[in-house]
Structure 1
Amino acid sequence: MKFLFDLFPVILFFVTFKWGESHALAAQAYANEYLSPLISGGITSLEVAPILLATAITLIASLSQIIYLLIARKKIDAMLWISFIIIMLFGGATIYFHSEAFIKWKPTVLYWCYGAAFFLAQFIFRKNLIKLALGSQMTLPEQIWGRLSLAWIAYFMVMGVVNLYVAFNFQTSTWANFKLISVVGIMPGFIVLQSLFLSKYIHEST
C-alpha cells in the first residue's frame, strides 16, 4: 500500500501529461485559466501546456499526501520530505518559467539526493540506512549490509544520469514514459534482484 501511495503523484503526472498531449488546445486553455497567476507573463504555449498541467496536478497530489499524513498523525519519513521539497521547488519553477527543463531535472536531483544521503550515512556518519530499515527483519554479515548500501548508491547515481540523458536527448513524451517505467519497472526489478541475492543469507539466518 505504501508503494502505491508513494506512486500516486507519478501516475497522476503521467495520466495528465498523456491527456494533455492528445488534447493540447484544452490543456493550454486549462493552464492559462488556472495557472496564469503563477506563470511569468501570464500565458503559456501550446507545446508546454501539457507538462505544466501535469506538473500542477503533481504538486497538488504531493501536497495532499503531506496534509493527509499530518492530519492522520502518521510519520512522514525523511525521503518523502525530500521528495516533497524537490517537487515543490522544481515543479514551481517549471510552472513559473513555463519551461519543462526544471521538471525534467527533478528526478535526477531526487536520485542524487538519495544517493548522497546513503553515501554520507555510510562513510561520514558510519550508519547503514539499509540496515537501519531492515535490520530488525533479517540478520546479515556486515559486509553484505555494506554491499547493499553501495548498490543503492550506485543505483541512484546511475538513474540520475540516465534520466538526464533521456530527458534531453528524446522527446518529452518518451521521457514521461521512462519516468513511469523507472518507478513501476526498473526500481521493483532492482529490488527483486537484491532479494534473490539476499535469499541465501535469509535462509541461513532462519
Structure 2
Amino acid sequence: MQVIIDLLPVILFFIAYKKAGIFVATSVAIISTLVLMLIVWIKRGKIDKMLMINGAVITVLGGITLLLHDKTYIMWKPTVIYWIGALALLFSRYVFQNNLIARMLGKIIEPPANVWDKLNLCWVLFLIGLGSLNLYVAFHYTEENWVNFKLFGTTSLMFVFIISQVFVLKDYWIEHTPPA
C-alpha cells in the first residue's frame, strides 16, 4: 500500500499529462505531493525525510517549470531525487559511519558487514545510473516517451533491481516465528 501512496503523485502526473499536457501535469504533481505531505503530517505528526526532500524538489523545479514555461526543469526532477538519494547513502556510510540500507533492512536480513557495504554501493550506483538514464531519455526522446519512462520505465527498473536483491540476499533472511 505504501508503494502506491508513494507513486500517487507520479500516477496523477501521468494522467494529467495525458489529458492536458506537461504544464498542467507539473501543477498536479506539485499539488498532489504537497497534499500527500499534509495527509502524512496529520496522520503521523511528522513527514518522512524522503517525502520532504521530494516535496521541496518538486515544488522548486516544478515551480521554475511553470514560471519559465520550460519543461526542462521538471525533467530534471527525477534525476535530482535519485542523485540526492545516492549522495545520502554515500555520506551516511562514509562520513557518518552509518549505513542507511542496513538501518532500513536490518530487521529482515542479517548479512555480514561487507555485504551491507556492497548493498549500499549497489544502491548508490543504481541511483546514479537511474538518474543518468532519466536525463538521457528526457533529452534524446520525445516528451511523451520521457513521461512514459518516468512512470513505467523507472518503476519497472526499480522493481527488477529490488527483486534481484531479494534473490541475492535470500540466505540472510531472518526467520520470524509467529506467536503461539
Q: TM-score normalised by the shorter chain: which range applies?
A: over 0.9
Distance in 1, matches of 2:45 and 2:146, equals 33
Conservation of the 8 A alpha-carbon contact between 1:7 and 1:183: no
Q: Which residue does 1:8 correspond to in 2?
A: 8
- 1:4-50 CA-to-partner distances (Å, cap 9, x unmatched) read 00000000011111122xxxxxxxxxxxxxxxxxxxxxxxxxxxxx1
Asked whether 1:136 is paired with 2:115, we answer no
Distance in 1, matches of 2:121 and 2:138, equals 26
Please give the TM-score of this superposition, normalised by the length of structure 2. 0.93
Q: Which residue does 1:18 correspond to in 2?
A: 18
The Cα shift of 1:74 comes to 4.5
Distance in 2, matches of 1:64 and 1:190, equals 29
The Cα shift of 1:132 comes to 0.6
Q: Which residue does 2:170 correspond to in 1?
A: 199
Q: Which residue does 2:139 correspond to in 1?
A: 168
Asked whether 1:147 is paired with 2:108, we answer no
Partner amino acid for 1:17?
Y
Partner amino acid for 1:144?
V
Partner amino acid for 2:138?
A
The Cα shift of 1:183 comes to 4.0
Instruction: Give secondary structure in 2 for the equivalent of 1:127.
Output: coil
- 1:80-159 equivalences under 5 Å are 80-159=51-130
Where do 4+ consecutive residues of structure 1 move more than 3 Å?
none
Q: Which residue does 2:178 correspond to in 1?
A: none
Distance in 1, matches of 2:170 and 2:69, equals 48
Q: Which runs of 5+ in 2 are unaligned?
A: 176-180
Partner amino acid for 1:100?
K
Partner amino acid for 1:137?
I
Partner amino acid for 1:8?
L
Partner amino acid for 1:173?
E
Distance in 1, matches of 2:14 and 2:53, equals 21
Conservation of the 8 A alpha-carbon contact between 1:119 and 1:153: yes
Partner amino acid for 2:5?
F
Larger radius of gyration: 1
Q: Which runs of 5+ in 1 are unaligned?
A: 21-49
Give the number of equivalent residue pairs: 175
The percent of aligned pairs where both chains have the same amino acid is 38
